[in-house]
Structure 1
Amino acid sequence: MYLRRAEMKDLPQIESIIQDGKRHLAAQHIDQWQGIYPDTKILVDDIQNGHTMILVEDYEVLGAAAVIPGPDDSYQDIDGKWLTDDDSYVAIHRVAVSANHRGHGLAGKLFNAIFEEVDNFDSIKGIRIDTHPDNLGMQHIIEKSGFTKTGTVEVKADDLTDVQDFAYERLTKTAVPAGHTA
């Protein structure tokens, strides 16, 4: 199992995983991703901009996430306080894992692989993410992965309005003081 940047040839598998995620959220009565977002145009833009990271095993895409350098429009205003004070962060968006492998800890493995990748860049001090207040599963994975809840943000990219997502940040190894762990 390994992490790599997505290519256009991966788009059908990524779209399938996103649709799995939409159905999974709908089955839990969570209105996150229940409109057009994220649509094919966003997924294509993510791939073309080199933002989509995929977890792969035996040519199968097991999970995907967009890892986007700051600043992020949704993170400019927070009801709370970020752990980092500038734009030296990456934002993780559109996290999804294959329904065929749900329950095998893939989201955590995807996060850990992204952390290893991001930790190679001295200029990145934080990793930010947000999720819907009703998405308890993702909140659990985020917190288990070492993120700190920092407040709430209004997501600008989603087609839903007036939803205040829970915001989280995790410091990178570069930002962690000596003697502490990320």
Structure 2
Amino acid sequence: MNIEIRTGNRDDFQGIMQIINHAKNKLMESGSPQWSDEDSPKEEEIKGELEKGNNYLFTINKKMIGTAIMTDEEEKAYAKISYGDWDTSQGNYVTIHKFAIHPDTNGKGYGKIFLHLLLLVCQEKGISEIRIDTHPKNRAMQKVISSAGFSFKGIVHLPFENGERYAYQLFLK
């Protein structure tokens, strides 16, 4: 089995959107409003992140299984957090967004593997602080985040309907 994490490129766009669209349907089926309406990943946004080199892909035997955005741009919604606090930042942080695993591969632990590989990329780049969020009803993603060692820090509110998100933080050694 050949497992790889790499940055995405323009040629990957259709495969990325396919994974995102399948994940959106899975979220809807699970009762989570995440990625519905205004917070749905937009094609222009994904293309922009591809151009910046912020899109990462998880492949197994050259087949695209997962996609995520990892960016060091400040997340404005993280400025205000309820029911908790961020630990004092050790400088800049990266945020992982738009994390999705193709639903056909659910239950195999690929989400956990992909997130751990993203953390290795951070470590290689000398990044010590990572933040991530997910909707309160997205229990599968909460398990993936917790299994990677992230700590629950509180609730942030993204600027749209159903924008409440559980916020997590991890410091790498």
**TM-score scaled by structure 2?**
0.92
- % identity of equivalent residues: 26
Equivalent residue number for residue 8 of structure 1: 10
Q: Runs of 5+ in structure 2 lacking a partner?
A: none
Equivalent residue number for residue 24 of structure 1: 26
Q: Runs of 5+ in structure 1 lacking a partner?
A: 174-182
Cα contact 1:83–1:171 (8 A) shared by 2: no
Equivalent residue number for residue 117 of structure 1: 121
Runs (4+) off by over 2 Å: 83-87, 160-163
Alpha-carbon distance, 1:87 to partner: 4.6
Cα contact 1:18–1:96 (8 A) shared by 2: yes
Output aligned runs, 1:1-150, within 5 Å. 1-35=3-37, 37-79=40-82, 80-85=84-89, 87-122=91-126, 124-150=127-153
The alpha-carbon distance between structure 1 residues 70 and 86, as it changes in their structure 2 partners (threshold 3 A), is farther
Alpha-carbon distance in structure 2 between the residues aligned to 1:84 and 1:57: 37
Alpha-carbon distance in structure 2 between the residues aligned to 1:27 and 1:83: 35
Alpha-carbon distance, 1:34 to partner: 1.3
Higher helix proportion (structure 1 or 2): 2
User: 1:61-120: CA deviations, max 9, x gaps?
Assistant: 110110010421121211221124255110000010112211111111111111111002
Alpha-carbon distance, 1:39 to partner: 1.4
Equivalent residue number for residue 153 of structure 1: 156
